[in-house]
Amino acid sequence: MSIDALLEQAAALRAEAAEEPDPVHTGPVTKETQIIAIYGKGGSGKSFALANLSYMMAQQGKRVLLIGCDPKSDTTSLLFGGKATPTIIETSSRKKLAGEELTIEDVCFQRDGVFAMELGGPEVGRGCGGRGIIHGFETIEKLGFHDWGFDYVLLDFLGDVVCGGFGLPIARDMCQKVIVVGSNDLQSLYVANNVCKAVEYFRKLGGNVGVAGILINKDDGTGEAQAFAEAVGIPVLASIPAHEEIRRKSANYQIIGTPDGPWGPLFAELAANVETAPPVRPTPLDQDGLLGLFKPEDTGGNFVLKPASQADMRGGVFEEKPSLEVVYDNV
């Protein structure tokens, strides 16, 4: 690609990034669609759980749209046996530069009744992932989102990143409820607690989104995630055990949420609870409260902070010298 073409492409992308988001849809409601945002720490297994949940819902006769909102774009690959799908951001940019219109056939694919697409994100160091989320949702609306009439729209969000784009469903009331995914470890519950803080913050500002509950994944029975749910006032929707078969099938991109499979009843229970769980207002924990869920010897929670002195910073003795600063009295 020539220098002129690259400059033209960069100018087009800058102009697109400068566009303000479209206003929130305020037209008439034609069908009651549950839009649910699922947040979790990277590596918590939320994408695997969500792919299986969406598959189970579709097997139960529901119309389900799964939208991956994680820049890793791994939500749909779990549903489609490891195959990567074209992302909305990449495909729309390529089509725009070619002077072509983006169509739903370019970005949405299906398996056994589950419709799925990936928003995608910029390449490393080349843009803002949050802005990409905003642009992706605007594109979906232009493709006809409000006319599709799905029973469920499930949004798979990365919970580690706290910039505005990833909090869009909570901040702009784009979903009715949020589900957090966590395990019995401090980092995943820290992320879940942060999401609860975001929900509480926007509720204070007049928002309507609430937390439907927590999905405990890789549950080894130690009970910290259960204690977290009780402490913040949200229900446990289901607990997926730390089982070798689940780990192996997850790594191999295999769906286990089938009605006739051994894990079918678990995902059927999860689907039922997701459908009926009301959005509640959580009571997030502070850092000490979060640490209190774990044994001090496991987390270092009994550590006492020791302030550093100037002598410590210099690796020796520090002698304070009189300041040469001139202080003028008020005249």
Give the DSSP H or E segment for 154: strand 152-158
User: What CA–CA distance (Å, rounded) separates 237 from 272?
Assistant: 9
Question: Which of 103, 136, 107, 98 has the alpha carbon at shortest distance from 119?
Answer: 136
Contacts of residue 34, defined as CB under 8 A and 6 or more positions apart, other chains included, come to: 151, 152, 153, 176, 177, 275
Name the one residue in this structure whose structure tokens are 């759980």. 49
Tokens of 95: 């089509």
Report d(CA 112, CA 65) in Å as an integer: 12
Which positions are annotated as active-site residues?
Answer: 41, 46, 72, 160
> What stretches of 70-113 adopt beta strand conformation (E)?
109-111
- Give yes or no for a contact between 279 and 286, defined as CB atoms under 8 angstroms apart: no
* Token duo for residue 127: 């843009």
187 secondary structure, DSSP code: H
DSSP, residue by residue, 257-298: --TTSTTHHHHHHHHHHHHHPPPB------HHHHHTTS-HHH
Q: Which of 23, 208, 9, 146 is nearest to 90 (CA)?
A: 9
Q: List phi, psi (to 5°) of 61.
A: 95, 5
Whether 118 and 75 have beta carbons less than 8 Å apart is answered as yes
Cβ-contact 199, 281 below 8 angstroms = yes
CA dihedral 194, 196, 200, 205 (to 10 degrees): 70
Query: 275, 253 in Cβ contact below 8 A?
Result: no
